[in-house]
Structure 1
Amino acid sequence: MRKDVRILLVGEPKVGKTSLIMSLVSEEFPDEVPLRAEEITIPADVTPERVPTHIVDYSGNYANVICIVYSVNNKKSIEKVSLVSLSAVNQIHNCSMVPLILVGNKSDLVEHSSMETILPIMNQYQDIETCVECSAKNLKNISELFYYAQKAVLHPTGPLYCPEEKELKPSCIKSLTRIFKVSDLDNDGILNDNELNFFQRTCFNTPLAPQALEDVKNVVRRNMTDGVKDNGLSLKGFLFLHTLFIQRGRHETTWTVLRRFGYDDDLELTQEYLFPMIKMPPDCTTELNHNAYLFLQSVFDKHDKDRDCALSPEEVKDLFKVFPYMPWGPDVNHTVGTNEQGWITYQGYLSQWTHACRSLEYFGYLGYSIIYEQESQAAAITVTRNKRIDLQKKQTQRSVFRCNVLGDRGSGKSGFLQAFLGKNLQGQRRIREDHKSFYAISTTYVYGQEKYLLLHEVMPDFDFLSEADLACDVVCLVYDINNPSSFEYCAKVYKQYFIDSKTPCVVVAAKSDLHEVRQHYSLSPHEFCRKHKLHPPQPFTCMNHIHHAHLYLCVRLIHFNAV
C-alpha cells in the first residue's frame, strides 16, 4: 500500500476547487477565497487509513487521484466535465493508472441531483471511481469527498473489477483463488466454519459470531446454488462474496484480504513478502527449523489424498496450484527418493525442501506466515552456528550438508548420485536424458542422528571451477577403476583446489565390480591418499547392490571436522 496520497483538484474556474480545500482545513466556508490554495498536507494520524495526504488545486508533477470538480447549478460546467476528464487523463503523468472522481460542488444552490446527467459520463470512462455531490459552503460531504479520493488510491477498484462485465478481473480471481486454497486447510474444496473463522481472524483480527457466519452463508445461498456446500463456503461462493463487496463499494475489504496474503497494488506478491530479509553472519548457513518441517508435513498430508505416503503427479500438481509456476521439473523424481511407481515419497518430499533460501519463496506461496501466524516466513529459518566455533568444538548441530562430487567424464558420478537414492544400474538406465538430475538429496544416519546430505555433480572442467563448485562441506573425488586415465583428473583437482583447504575430501573408486587397471598417474590411488593423509579409496558399485559406506564416511568427516 502507498505510503502517501497526492490528490489533485481540476475543473473550470469558479467551480469551488480552492473553497473545497479551505473548507476541509478550516471546517468553515472562507469569506475570501484566494485564486489558488497552497498545497495542503493532512497528517497520517487524522486520516482513516493512517496515510499522509497531500491536496493541491493545480497540476503538479504527478497525482495519485484526480478530482474533477464541477458546479451542480451550472449546466455548462457539467457538460465540460468530459472535456476536463480527457484533458486531465492525457496530461497527468502515468495517466492511465490514475483513478478519477467526479465532484459536484455547490449542492446547497440546487434542490435536485446532477447524478442523472453525470451517469453517462461515468459509464464512458472506466477510470472514474465514483461521483460525490457536496457543498463547500455548508461543509456537506467534504470529509467524505477526500476520504473517497484517498480510498480510490489505497483501495482502487480498477485492478479488481470490470464494471462493464460486472465481474472480477482474471488477475483478481487468480489471487483470491490462491487465498482460498491456502485457507482450505483440509483441502476439501470448502471453507468450513473453523477455516472461515481462522481466515477472519487472520485478515481482520476478529472472529465472526456464529449468527454472522450463518448470515454470510445465507447471502450466498440466496444468490447462487453452488456457493455453499456441506454448510461450508465453496470457491464460487468465496469469489461471489468479494464481487458483492466491490459492487457495494466495500472494496477495501477485498484489498485488506489481498494485502494480508502478500499482494501489492498490481496483484503481484511483493518482494518483501516472498523474500524477507535474513541476517546471516559470515561462515554461517541457514536451515529449516522444526516448525518449518511441521508445516511441510501438514502440506504433504493435505495433498496426499490416498494416504499412500507418496505424492502422485496429480497430487504434486494440486500442491503447486498456489504457485505462479511449476517449481519442480521432471528431474525431481531423480533428485530425491521415490517409490516403485516413481512417485515422490514423504522422505523424498522433505529432502527436496532442504535448500532453505529457495524455500523462503515457496513457503510464501504456500502461506506459511499466514497459517503459522508469523511476521514472515523468515520465522521458518534457523541460522546455524559459526563454522569456526564448530571447528573449535569439533562438533556441529547442523543437519544439512553439501557434498560436491567431482570426477572426469564417464567416471561414474551420475551413478554415484542415483545409488544414493537407492537406484541400481538397471533403474538408472531407464532415466531419460532430459530428466537427469545433477543433484541427489537424501538422509543418512551418523551416531543415531539423521542428517540430510545433498550431493551435487560438478561438470568436469579442470581449468575453471567456480566458487559454487568449490563451496561445500565435503568433496567426493570419483574415478573409474577400469579406466587407466580416470584418476589423474581427481589428483590434479585435489592438488589445484583442495590440498590447502580445510574441506575434507573422500576418494571413491567407482565401478568396483569391474577389473581394476593400473592408473597412468605417477602414484596409485592408494599411494596418493596415503601421501596426502586421506582415507583409502572407498569402493563403490551400483551394478547389483548399493554401498553407502562412502556416504557414511562423508558425513563422519563433516561431523568431526565441523566444517
Structure 2
Amino acid sequence: MPKETIRVVICGDTGVGKSSLIASLVKGKYIPNVQDKLPPISIPKDYSSSPYSPKNTILIDTSNEDVTTLHKELKTADVIWLLYCDHDSYERVSLYWMMMFRSLGLNLPVVLAKTKCDNYDDSTVNLLSEDTKVEDQEFIPILMEFKEVDVCIKVSSRTQFNINQAFYLCQRSISHPVAPLFDSRVGELKPLAILALKRIFLLSDEDQDGYLSDPEILALQKKCFKKSIDVNELANIRELLEDVSYSEIDGSSGAYYEPGKGMTVDGFLLLNKIYAERGRHETTWGILRAFHYTDSLSIKAKVLYPKLNVSDSASVELSPKGYRFFVNLFLKFDKDNDGGLSEEELRALFKCTPGLPHLWSATNFPYATVVNERGCITLQGWLAQWSMTTFLDYKITTAYLVYFGFQEDAQLALQITKSRKMRRRNGRFYRSPVTDRKVFNCFIFGKPNSGKSSLLESFLGRPFSEAYSPTIRPRIAVNNLELKGGRQYYLILQEFGSQEFVTLENRDKLKECDVLCFAYDSSDPESFSYIVELFNKHRERIEGLPLIFVALKADLDKQQQRCQVQPDDFSESLLIDHPLHVSSTWLSSLNELFVKITEVALVPGDSTVGLPLESKFENEDYKQTVIMLCSTAGFVALLSYTFVKVFRSKYN
C-alpha cells in the first residue's frame, strides 16, 4: 500500500534558497521576498498521478540557527531534500551534511538539488549540453560515495526550472525507491531485483521457449500498466537490444534479442537496468507491483496467504477454477506430451517458486501419489497431490497459486465446505452425513508388518512386493476414485508407524480424520490383539469417529486370533460391520475397501461405534429412497382397493 503521508525535510546551507524553492513550488511562480523560514506546508495528492503516490506530502523548511530543532525534524523525515548552490555549499554536502545524516543514524533517501540554475529553462536545457556535462560531473562523486543519495537534479526557483520534477523525485523516492533495485556504486541491478525480474520473465513467457515475443511483451505491458505499449517504443526496445551482442548483467553471454523469437531474459534484465540508470525505475516498479512485490522485493504476505474463515470442522478444497488452473499448468509443462512430468519438466515448472513445498518433500513426493512406469507424476497424481495439499494446509496452495502466476485472487481457486455437524442418538454423538465434500482423510492403524504399507502402494496402483520395510516415519498416499453414478472423490490414506499411539492421543489431529481404519493380518494369530489393545486404550477418543476393521493378507491361510475376542464378535459388540477381507493381490477386494472407506466418510453414522444402524435414515439419499418406496407401495395399495371396490359394485 502507498504511504498515506510523507514528510520532506528541506535542508542546506544558509542562503541556498530553501524557502524560495518551497514558495515557488507552492505558488507556481517566483516569489522575490520570502521570510527566512516557512511553516510546514501540506500538499495533497494530484489524483491524476500514480496510485502509489502519497495522499499527502508535508514540506518542512529548516533553519541552521536551531540545530536541535533541525535534528528533530530530520529524525521524523521520510525524505531529505538537500540543496546547494555554489562551490562552497557543494563541498559541505560531503563534508558536513552527509556526515551529519549518518551521525544521526538516518537511513533515508536523499534528493540532492543544485539551486539557482537560472540560466536553464525547459526550452534551453537540451541546447546547453557542455554546461550540463560539467554539472553532471559534480553529481557523480556524490552518487558514487553516498548510497543514500537517490538522484541529483538542477533547479531554479526564479525560472521554475525542474521545481515540480524535483518535488516528484522526492515523492518517488518513497513510492518507487531505487535503492532496492539498483546499486549505483557498481552500476548493476541488485540480486533480489534480478531474482524477481527473472521470475516475472518466466511467468510472462507463455510458450516457455526462453523468449518474450512481441505478443508476450504486449501482454506484460497490458497486465502491468493497463494499456498497450506504443509501437514506436516497442521498435526502440527491439533496436536497442539488437545492437548489443552479449549480456553483461550476470556475466553470462548470449544475445539480448533474437530476431523472430524475441527478448531473452538477459535482455529483459538489461532493459530494466537501463530504466534504473536513466531514472525511470518507476517503470520497473510498475512491473514488480503488478506481480505483488513489496518495497523489500518479497511478495505481499496477504496475497500469498489470504485470510479465509474456516471453522474447525470445515475443510478447504480446490474449486473448479482451481482444478482447471492446475490442469492447464500440467499440460503447459508436459513438453513431450507423454502424460507425465519428468524431473526436468518439474524443475522448469517450479523454477518460479521457492521449490517443492516442504509438505511434499516430507511425504516422499512424487511417490505419495500416482506415477507412470518411469516414476513421473501423471495428471491424475498431480491433481490428487494438490487436492491433498489443499485439504491438509490450504495456505501452501494459495502461496503456490501466486508463485505459479494465478491471475486472480487465490481464494477463487478454493472453496470451503460446510462445517461438520454432530447429532445425537441413544446418548451417543455422531457425525451427520456429508453432502458437499470431495476429499476425505483416512487414518490406518495396525500392528507392524500387518500389510498397511502394501495397502497404500496398492491404492496407488503399484504391484505387490514381498520385500518388507518397516515404516518409521508417517506415510501418505492420495488418489482419486469413482463411486456409482460417476461421482468422483479424492481419498487420502495415512499410516503413522511408530507414532500411532501419539496420533490417537492427539484430539486435534483426530479432527482431521474422516474415517479410522483398523487393519490386522488375518494370517497372523497375534495381529488382532494389537487392535483390541489400541482400541481399548483410546476408546474415549475413538467412539465418536466412524470406524472400520480390515483383515489384510486374506489370500493367505486364515488363522484363529489369539485374543479374548474374535474380530467378528468384536465388531458386533461395537455395532459396526464385520471386517472386510482384503488382499493386495485381489484387485476387486481393494476396490471394495476404498469405496467402503469413502462411503463411510459420506455417511459416518452407519459406522460409528455403539450407534444402532437406524442412523442410516439420516442419510438423505437413503431417506428419499425409503420415502419413494413407501409412496409407491401406498399408491399401489390405494389403486388395488379402488379396483376391488369398483369390481364388486359392478357384479353385485
Q: TM-score, normalised by structure 1?
A: 0.89
**Is structure 2 residue 492 aligned with structure 1 residue 491?**
no
- Of the candidates 57, 68, 81, which is equivalent to residue 67 of structure 1? 81
CA shift for structure 1 position 160: 1.5
Match of 2:613 in 1: none
Residues 369-403 of structure 1 deviation map (CA, whole Å, 9 limit, x = unaligned): 2xxxx2x2111111223434999994513211111
Structure-2 residue corresponding to 1:361: 399
Match of 1:541 among 551, 570, 583: 583
The answer as to 2:175 corresponding to 1:154 is yes
Q: Which amino acid aligns with 1:526?
A: D
1:423 corresponds to: 462
- Residue 501 of structure 2 aligns to a residue whose secondary structure is coil
2-side partners of 1:349 and 1:157: how far apart? 41
Q: Does residue 56 of the first structure (1) align with residue 60 of the second (2)?
A: yes
How far off is 1:34 after superposition? 4.5
For 2:554 and 2:490, locate their aligned partners in 1 and report how far apart those are by CA, in whole Å: 26
Secondary structure of residue in 2 paired with 1:542: coil
SS at match of 2:7: strand
Out of 259, 276, 285, which is 2:306 matched to? 276
Given the superposition, is the C-alpha separation of residues 9 and 310 from structure 1 closer, same or farther in structure 2, using an over 3 Å criterion? same
Quote the residue 2:614 is aligned against: none
Offset at residue 315 of structure 1 (A):
1.2
Counterpart code for 1:262: H
CA distance in 2, matches of 1:118, 1:274: 41
What is the RMSD computed on CA atoms of the aligned residues? 3.0
Q: Percent identity?
A: 29
Cα distance between partner residues in 2 of 1:201 and 1:132 = 32
Query: Counterparts of 2:324 and 2:521 in 1: how far apart (Å)?
Result: 42
Corresponding residue for 1:285? Answer: 315
Query: Residue in 2 aligned with 1:407?
Result: 446
1:267 aligns with 2:301: no
Q: Is the 8 A contact 2:75 2:106 kept in 1?
A: no
- The farther-off stretch of 443-452 and 32-41 is 32-41
Task: Tell me, in whole angstroms, the C-alpha distance in 2 between the residues paired with 1:536 and 1:389.
Answer: 25
Q: Give, in whole Å, the separation in 2 of the partners of 1:237 and 1:388.
A: 58
Task: Quote the offset at 1:312 in angstroms.
Answer: 1.1
Q: Distance in 2 between matches of 1:220 and 1:79?
A: 40
Q: SS in structure 2 opposite 1:130?
A: strand
Q: 2:539 is matched by which residue type in structure 1?
A: K
Aligned to 1:107: 117
Q: Which has the larger radius of gyration?
A: 2
User: Quick check: 1:11–1:84 contact (8 Å CA) kept in 2?
Assistant: no
- Structure 1 counterpart of 2:518: 477
Q: Over residues 207-255 of structure 1, what are the superposed CA-to-partner deviations in whole Å (9 max), with x where a residue is unaligned?
A: 2355654443233212336222333222122222212222222111111
Once residues 518 and 38 of structure 1 are traced to their aligned partners in structure 2, the CA distance between those partners, rounded to angstroms, is: 96
1:3 matched residue in structure 2: 3
For 2:602, what is the secondary structure of its paired residue?
helix
Residues 432, 491 of structure 1: CA spacing in aligned structure 2 closer, same or farther, 3 A cutoff? closer
Q: C-alpha displacement at 1:25, in angstroms?
A: 2.7
C-alpha separation in 1, matches of 2:296 and 2:466: 47
Q: Does 1:237 align with 2:267?
A: yes
User: Which residue matches 1:90?
Assistant: 102
Instruction: Evaluate the alpha carbon distance shift between residue 43 and residue 164 of structure 1 in structure 2; reply closer, same or farther with a 3 A threshold.
Output: same
Q: CA deviation at 1:177?
A: 0.9
Q: Which residue pairs with 1:325 in the alignment? A: 355
Q: What is the total number of aligned residue pairs between the two structures?
A: 550
Deviation, structure 1 residue 468: 1.8
Q: Pick closer, same or farther for the CA change 1:489–1:83 going to 2, 3 Å.
A: farther
The 1:406–1:242 alpha-carbon spacing in structure 2 relative to 1, beyond 3 Å, is: same
Structure 1 consecutive aligned stretches of length 4 or more whose deviation exceeds 6 Å: 109-113, 389-393, 431-434
Aligned 8 A contact 1:479 1:490 in 2 = no
- 1:326-405 mapped onto 2 (5 Å cutoff): 326-327=356-357, 328-329=360-361, 331-354=364-387, 355-356=389-390, 357=394, 358-369=396-407, 374=408, 376-388=409-421, 394-405=433-444
The whole-number CA distance in structure 2 between the counterparts of 1:202 and 1:489 is 62
Using CA pairs below 8 Å that are at least 6 residues apart, which structure has the higher relative contact order?
Answer: 1
Match of 2:64 in 1: none
CA distance in 1, matches of 2:204, 2:586: 48
Distance 1:544 1:221, change over 3 A: same
Q: 1:362 to 1:279 in 2, by over 3 A?
A: same
Alignment-derived partner of residue 342 in structure 2: 312
Aligned to 1:17: 18
Counterpart CA distance in 1 for 2:431 and 2:530 is 36
Moved more, 37-46 or 117-126: 37-46
Task: Provide the rounded CA distance (Å) in 1 between the counterparts of 2:245 and 2:537.
Answer: 69
Query: Unpaired runs of 5+ in structure 1?
Result: none
SS at match of 2:461: coil
In 2, Cα distance between equivalents of 1:207 and 1:550: 57
Separation in 1 of the partners of 2:316 and 2:149? 49
Instruction: Specify the code of the residue in structure 2 equivalent to 1:366.
Output: F
In structure 2, relative to structure 1, the CA distance for the partners of 1:149 and 1:510 (3 Å cut) is same
Match among 547, 551, 555 for residue 594 of structure 2 = 551
Matched, 1:439 2:468: no
Rounded to whole Å, the distance in 1 between the matches of 2:243 and 2:467 is: 58
Taking the aligned partners of 2:467 and 2:231, their CA distance within structure 1 comes to 57
1:464 aligned partner, one-letter code: E
Q: 1:46, 1:438 → 2: CA distance?
A: 57
From 540, 564, 568, the equivalent of 1:522 is 564
Q: Distance in 2 between matches of 1:344 and 1:38?
A: 68
Question: 1:161 offset after TM fit, Å?
Answer: 1.9
Q: CA deviation at 1:94?
A: 5.2
State the Cα distance separating 1:304 from its structure 2 match: 1.0
Work out whether residues 417 and 455 of structure 1, in 8 Å CA contact, stay in contact via their aligned partners in 2: yes
Q: Within 5 Å, give how 1:459-470 maps onto structure 2.
A: 459-461=499-501, 464-470=505-511
Contact in 1 for aligned 2:143/2:184 (Cα 8 Å): no
* Higher mean displacement: 404-413 or 260-269: 404-413
The code of the aligned residue for 2:549 comes to V
TM-score by length of 2: 0.77
Deviation at 1:437, TM superposition (A): 5.9
- How many angstroms does 1:101 deviate by? 1.5
Aligned residue in 1 for 2:608: none
